[in-house]
Amino acid sequence: MPEFRERARTIVDSPALTYRQRVQALAGLAEESLDPPKVSAECAAALETGLVCDIAEGHAPYRPRYLLPDYSRALAQGSEFLGLAAPTDLYEAIAFLLSMYSQVPSITGYPVYLGDVDRLLEPFTQDVDDETLTRLIRLMWVTIDRTLPDAFTHANLGPDDTRVGRTVLALERELLQTVPNLTLRVDPRRTPDSFVLDAVRTVFACGKPHFVNHPMMTGDLGPDYGVVSCYNSLKVGGGSHTLVRLNLAESARRHTGDVESYLATTLAEHVALNAELMAARIRSLVEDAQFFDHSWLVDEGLLSLDRFSAMFGIYGLAECTNTLVASAGGAGTYGHDADATALGWRIVERVAELVATTPLPYCDGNDGVAFLHSQSGIDSDVGVTAGTRIPIGAEPPLLEHLLAVTPNHRHFAAGVSDIIHFDDTATRNPQAVVDVIRGAMATGMRDVTFNLDSNDFIRITGYLVRKSDLAKLEATGVARHGSDILAAGSVANSHVTDRAVKRVISSESAPRVVG
Amino acid sequence: MDSAGPAPVGLVADVVRFSWVDGPGNRYAVFFQGCNLDCLACHNPHTMPRRTPLARAVTIEQLVDDVRAIAPFLSGVTVSGGEATLQAPFVAAWFAALRAHPDMARLTRFVDSNGCADDATWDLLLPVTEGVMLDLKALDVATHRELTGLGNAQVLHSLDRLVAERRLAEVRLLVVPGHNDSEEALRSTGDYLAQHAPGVPVKVIGFRPHGVRAAARHIPAPTDDERAAYGAWVAASVGEQLVTVV
């Protein structure tokens, strides 16, 4: 208890935290004082020693990590909890959504999903002229950034070309905000080149949006899915109870024996430990905290337990592969040597097979098992490569890079991201970027994320920060966006400045946050 | 020029499977070995000799297969060099093979040329080519000779023919300080292009010493301001919206 009091005092007195950041830190401290969900001694040791990691979600889960309310249904039926009737025009619709966002929890304390805003708002725009539409959406976008100051807050666009979608992209280029994170869903049959081109020009300005493969997503998740937080894809009306990740780099280090015995035995044991921790956390959320029995979102039919699953994350594939190759006397590395890369694919395939046959409670949203997620790291990771990426700074040329990582993408229904870096050449030939997106998706890439050297934005993992905001944080110690604080940790631990002209390494969340 | 039939192999200096600087979109670019000009400012002088052990022979089948593997990522293919038109029978046969293939017919086929090609050569290429990006090293014949070793009558004839057949995708002006960078030269080049190639985009490229032969290394790269001035002089008659400066 003395330590608890000391830590509480430090938070209360911290000059670097805003009021709200202090409240969140105090809540986190209180939760840490409870006992974590019970697991076996072996599982607890795996957590303690970093083989598995709950990304500091907290000891006593009381809200799902990610939840995706059915905003479309809410707009259609109104909300008793919010005391709002179904909106009848664009003004009411935007006010409705902004009100609702404030009442949607997630691991970050802010909603990680804002809905497919173009599809939600388009029906209200018929009698609205362009100037009014731009003005209203500008106010909405500014309000989102100021009231939900967290770059894990994520809006979706597409796959259809709409006035709202075009307006959002134009405003992104004008406002240059890191919030919200943004994804464009691309369907080769529905999304015209000119819309993708508009989005590519937006990437040049502010690093957003991500581009996701809509047919692949609907194939895995059904027609109603959303991309949330960094690049996590889940079912609308559902979500993910938790995200627990297996450190494959550490897993391979603990193995003695050949590759085959790793895949057959060691990896299977480690997957089981990760799943055990997930099961305990899910039960704690659903059975002890009884989130689903006490949520207005559930009461109003905007969220349902049967559309939930949980996310099984992996990271450190590159180090895992290289360790196994080296222990067999080889020298090839993941992403560069064809055999090593193929071994990386086999490891992912094996994890996918194991996860798909490991039942978890309350995961009816994915037939009783977890969704696989290529987890992009947290700000305290050192020397372990994000997810299934090729290590930062060591990526091969673009085509080889795409060919090396794309075969992994089909396994990660809940999201995977390989950040493609390019320089100013692209800004003179944006169609080339469109071509790369089209080709990547045609060959099986799920998510295409870019980082451009020359603008003010850096994609830390899946979320964005501005270099100028980081400089301000360093100078003043204060940040309005919680995600900037995480990013500063990443910069300190992974020397982003060394990589300023390369892709940025991943790290995604610090003590309290996200993935 | 041997126009009896497609040559069985092409002699290639280099292949860039993803190029963002050789025409619209992402392109598969083949740099053919051998050139008929001897440009002072060439930044790939190793591609100039017609025969060199550094070049490699490729078959049409090899190039078709290589493109097919990455076709979903491409807007098209571009032949460059060296001077690709020197191997026109091979290029034309390759282009025809791409056009005949269901997976690759949608790819646009572009030629990057110095314009020193005769009508028989264009007769072979144009039926299977969507666009030509043409270098005009200098409008003034003496300057052209000083920069390339040859006059420019054939280049200007090619330009007219390509315009007439609606195949001229872009004109490129490499501006070399001390040679073709005067306001007068660039304004008259702009006037000429506005008249002979109306509506055709013009790319004004400032000389860069990177990769050039020893004889050109002393030439300074123009400053940003100087390059902007080149662009403005050309744009005076061509029109600002058609001029890009790099």
Angle at B178 between CA B176 and CA B183, to 5 degrees: 85
Task: List all residues 6 or more positions away from B176 whose beta carbon is below 8 Å from its beta carbon.
Answer: B40, B41, B147, B207, B216, B219
Helix axes A2-13, A19-32, angle to 10 degrees: 170
Collapsed DSSP state (helix, strand, coil) of residue A405: helix
Over range A108-124, report the average pLDDT.
96
| C-beta separation of B18 from A400 below 8 A | no
Burial class (CB in 10 A: 0-12, 13-18, 19+), B22: buried
Helix axes A338-356, A267-283, angle to 10 degrees: 40
The pLDDT score that the predictor gives to residue A461 is: 64
- pLDDT tens-digit map of A157-209: 999 999 999 999 999 999 999 999 999 999 999 999 999 999 999 999 999 99
A404 inside 8 A of chain B by CB: no
Burial class (CB in 10 A: 0-12, 13-18, 19+), A423: exposed
| Letter string b/e over residues A169-208, b meaning 16 or more CB atoms within 10 A of that residue's CB | bbbbeeebbbbbbbbbbbbeeebeeebbebbbbbbbbbbb
How distant, in Å, are the alpha carbons of A57, A315, A351 from that of A267?
A: 24, 13, 8
A467 inside 8 A of chain B by CB: no
Structure letter (DSSP) for residue B223? P
pLDDT above 90 covers what percent of chain B?
Answer: 89
Smallest CA–CA distance, residue A218 to chain B, in Å, is 21
Q: Which helix (H) or strand (E) holds A330?
A: none
In DSSP terms, which residues pair with B15 in a beta bridge?
B30
Q: At A2, is the pLDDT very low, low, confident or very high (cuts 50, 70, 90)? A: confident
Mean pLDDT of chain A: 90
List the alpha helices (DSSP H) in A443-480: 467-476
CA B104 to the chain's CA centroid = 22
**Largest Cα–Cα separation, chain B:** 50
> Which chain B residues are Cβ-neighbours of A425 within 8 angstroms?
20-21
The pLDDT score that the predictor gives to residue A514 is: 38
Could you tell me the residue ranges of all domains in chain A?
Answer: 34-515
Task: Name the token pair of A174.
Answer: 């004008």
Q: For residue A223, is the peptide bond before it cis, meaning its omega torsion is within 30 degrees of 0?
A: no
The pLDDT score that the predictor gives to residue A475 is: 73
| Letter string b/e over residues A52-90, b meaning 16 or more CB atoms within 10 A of that residue's CB | bbbbbbbbbbebbbbbbbbbbebbeeebeeeebeebeeb
- pLDDT tens-digit map of A362-411: 999 999 999 999 998 776 778 899 999 999 888 899 999 999 999 999 99
A398 inside 8 A of chain B by CB: yes
- pLDDT tens-digit map of A448-490: 988 876 667 676 666 777 777 777 777 777 776 767 666 666 5
The pLDDT score that the predictor gives to residue A463 is: 74
Q: Which amino acid makes up residue B87?
A: Q
Instruction: Identify which of A425, A440, A443 has the shortest CB distance to residue B20.
Output: A425
Angle at A474 between CA A469 and CA A479, to 5 degrees: 50
Burial class (CB in 10 A: 0-12, 13-18, 19+), A478: middle
Smallest CA–CA distance, residue A390 to chain B, in Å, is 20
Domains located in chain B, CATH noted:
1-135 (3.20.20.70), 169-246 (no CATH)
Angstrom distance (rounded) from CA A30 to CA A50? 23
Pick among 3.20.20.70, 3.20.70.20, 3.30.70.20, 3.40.630.10: CATH of A34-515: 3.20.70.20
A439 inside 8 A of chain B by CB: yes
pTM of the model: 0.89
Angstrom distance (rounded) from CA A504 to CA A490? 9
- Taking an 8 Å cut-off on Cβ atoms, the answer to whether A431 and B24 are in contact is yes
The pLDDT score that the predictor gives to residue B108 is: 98
**By CA distance, what is B246's nearest residue in A?**
A428
A452 inside 8 A of chain B by CB: no
A397 inside 8 A of chain B by CB: yes
**By CA distance, what is B245's nearest residue in A?**
A428
3-state secondary structure string, A25-50? HHHHHHHHCCCCCCCCHHHHHHHHCC
Angstrom distance (rounded) from CA A289 to CA B53? 74
Kindly provide the residue ranges of all beta strands, DSSP E only, lying in chain B, ordered along the sequence.
9-19, 27-32, 56-59, 76-80, 108-113, 131-135, 168-175, 202-206, 243-245
The secondary structure of B89-155 as a DSSP string is HHHHHHHHHHHHSTTTTTSEEEEEE-S---HHHHHHHGGG-SEEEEE---SSHHHHHHHHSS-SHHH
Residue for token pair 């100087």? B226
- As for the ipTM of the complex, it is 0.90
**Largest Cα–Cα separation, chain A:** 69
Torsion of CA A404, A215, A66, A447, to 10 degrees: 30
In DSSP terms, which residues pair with B80 in a beta bridge?
B31
Strand order in the sheet with B108-113: B56-59, B9-19, B27-32, B76-80, B108-113, B131-135, B168-175, B202-206, B243-245
